């Protein structure tokens, strides 16, 4: 492998193979790299062949060069401008059926104590000498 492809450079290549995980791109006669499926385009890619075909000429950016392993990582997405994010329409709030009755503050169901009531009860218990373990 030659070191003529540097990280960050943008070059034109030709798609030589398509796999479920990405596409192989020939950069010259003896050098090829891989465009991972996540680097094909902005957004979700389910099937590489829906975006690329063998023989397509593509502009790619060199993400990394691993001389020892002989691998070059490429990105088509990095050569494209990111699409402007569209604002999602505001979700409609679900309509309530019937009327909402305000809860009465003074009435509590039988057997149910509010935290305020329990707090007062706990304070009273903590002050009782006969409950303190010695």
For residue 96, being part of any structural domain is answered with: no
What's the pTM? 0.59
- Residue 41 pLDDT > 80, yes or no? yes
**Which residues, in sequence order, are bridge partners of residue 75?**
61
- Counting runs of H as helices and runs of E as strands, what totals does the chain give? 1, 5
- Residue 31 pLDDT > 60, yes or no? yes
Lowest mean pLDDT among 24-28, 39-43, 115-119: 115-119
For residue 105, being part of any structural domain is answered with: no
pLDDT tens digits, one per residue of 44-97: 889 998 999 999 999 999 999 988 888 899 999 998 887 777 666 666 666 666
pLDDT tens digits, one per residue of 6-23: 889 999 999 999 999 999
For residue 18, being part of any structural domain is answered with: yes
Residues 89, 87: Cα–Cα separation, whole Å: 6
Selected residue with higher pLDDT from 93 and 109: 93
Question: Which residue range is the domain that position 54 belongs to?
Answer: 10-79
For residue 125, being part of any structural domain is answered with: no
User: Which pLDDT belongs to residue 23?
Assistant: 93
Total domains present in the chain: 1
For residue 103, being part of any structural domain is answered with: no
Contact 104, 114 (CB under 8 A): no
């Amino acid at each position: 492998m030659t070191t003529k492809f540097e990280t960050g450079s943008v070059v034109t290549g030709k798609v030589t193979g398509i796999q479920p995980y990405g596409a192989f791109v020939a950069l010259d006669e003896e050098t090829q790299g891989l465009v991972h499926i996540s680097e094909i385009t902005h957004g979700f890619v389910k099937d590489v062949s829906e975006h690329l075909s063998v023989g397509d000429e593509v502009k790619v950016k060199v993400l990394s060069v691993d001389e020892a392993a002989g691998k070059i990582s490429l990105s088509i997405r990095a050569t494209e401008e990111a699409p402007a994010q569209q604002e999602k329409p505001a979700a409609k709030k679900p309509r309530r059926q019937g009327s909402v009755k305000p809860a009465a503050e003074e009435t509590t169901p039988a057997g149910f104590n509010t935290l305020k009531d329990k707090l007062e009860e706990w304070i009273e218990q903590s002050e009782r000498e006969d409950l303190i373990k010695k």
